[in-house]
Amino acid sequence: MAEENGQDRKIEKEPVNNEHAENEPPKKKRKEARAEKLKAQKLQKTKQIVEEQRNKRINLEKVSLKSLSKLMKNDPEISEEQKKEFSSQTKDQEKLGYQIGDKRGNLLLYALGETAGTSFTKDLFGTIEQFFQAQNQESKQYSYIFGTSYDKRGGSLVKTADSIRSLAYSDFLQKCSPLFRFASGILSAHVPKFHESLLNLEVAPQQARFGAFPNFSVRLIETEDKVSFLNSDPAIKYGFTVIIVVGDVQEAELKLPAIQHSVRLHDGMILVLRSSLLHQWYSFNKPGVIYEMRLFALSSLWESEQNHSIEIQKEE
């Protein structure tokens, strides 16, 4: 016992080595303290904005996650008369952004405001155009899917074919990375549980994520006249998808029949959609060229044994 007490006293008397901390220049300490304070202020402001937007969310009393889940099995049939009844955002909502929820307040759609994310999307049209131009022009391809997919035969997670074969892919990925991180931040703030699920998903060996997302796609849409362009995606069943639209979208709309809503588009628009709303179409009133980018998780990833335990919580 005496030996133990002596050892305790010895430890107590030994000076703590704070030499590194003491030798740090006061200017550096103040800089780090200011950075931490600024970070905390930004986090608090983000929480405040998220709460304000949630409080303004338009909840649809006749829509539930259960009813939307049933619609996913079949494309909803919408009559011409019903199409006329589609709601649309107001000018203020278009400018500031808005959210739509189900009858319990669960997020269905988040359309960001006109200026949100513009620093990440202002050059996106040219970036995507350069990528398409770099591909083999003999066999023109209008859409590409990147990231991880599930190989049923081999029972393993693998890179998509487009991730392996596409030319100028690395340069394209590097230019889009800030946008991917921005989109991931949106999910982290507004649907944190789904964001966490994405991060927990296993991806193919040596396959990068796109922010938190295991997949992203790009699609070229060319219109020569007034036309409706079907844009459903049965390969995405879980959680949320972020859609970014760039190009000549003046007078163009994205129709969401499941909630009878029409989103007026603008160049660089960013949308967060629950996957059950992906039975949709674009409506164009004049000729034009647009590119659509999506960030998502292929539903086949959950077929992998590595991802069986990753749950998607539907309700917030």
Q: In angstroms, rounded to a whole number, what is the distance separating the alpha carbons of residues 280 and 258?
A: 8
pLDDT tens for residues 73-106?
Answer: 655 555 555 555 788 888 889 888 999 999 999 9
Dist. CA 61–CA 59, nearest whole Å: 6
CA angle 191-202-291, nearest 5°?
A: 60
Average pLDDT of the chain, as a whole number: 86
Q: What is the pTM of this model?
A: 0.83
Task: Phi first, then psi: give them for residue 156, nearest 5 degrees.
Answer: -140, 160
Contact 217, 146 (CB under 8 A): yes
What average pLDDT score do residues 234-253 get? Answer: 90
46 pLDDT higher than 70: yes
CA distance 278 to 228: 15
Q: How many residues are there in the chain?
A: 316
Which tokens go with 158?
């693998």
- Cα(263)–Cα(160) distance, integer angstroms: 31
Query: Worst-scoring range by mean pLDDT, 176-180, 186-190, 233-237?
Result: 233-237
